[in-house]
Amino acid sequence: MNKDNITIFKNKSEAQSLLNESRLEIDKIDENLIELFARRTALSKNIVSAKKYINVPIYDKNREKEIQNKIKNLANDKNIDENIILKIMNLLFDLNKFQQEKFLEE
């Protein structure tokens, strides 16, 4: 850990409080993330209906590339590891395609 970045605590109880508060915030953020993932995934119904009508495949390499490039820039602007963020994005692509396949089967 970079020493310049660590908070200097007066005692253990202060550190414990910050740990607890930060975990509460993480719990809220996780709930929001799940909500956003669900909304993103729900769009797969409209997307697969339109694709079926215009007769194009579920997988669209160019669109995924376009999103990956955009995400790389956003991750770098926020100083978070682009490779790990891209792994998360790729999982979201898989989730969306999986859901599209499921809608097609229905």
Question: Of the two residues 81 and 101, which places its CB atom closer to ligand ISJ in the complex?
Answer: 101
Chain contacts with ligand ISJ (rule: CB under 6 A):
47, 58-60, 63-64, 67, 92-93, 96-97
Give me the least distance between CB of 48 and ligand ISJ, in Å please: 8
Instruction: Give 71's contacts (C-beta < 8 A, 6+ positions apart).
Output: 82, 85, 86, 89
Rounded CA-CA distance 17/33 in Å is: 24
Give me the least distance between CB of 23 and ligand ISJ, in Å please: 30
Give me the least distance between CB of 61 and ligand ISJ, in Å please: 7
Which amino acid is it at 27?
Answer: D
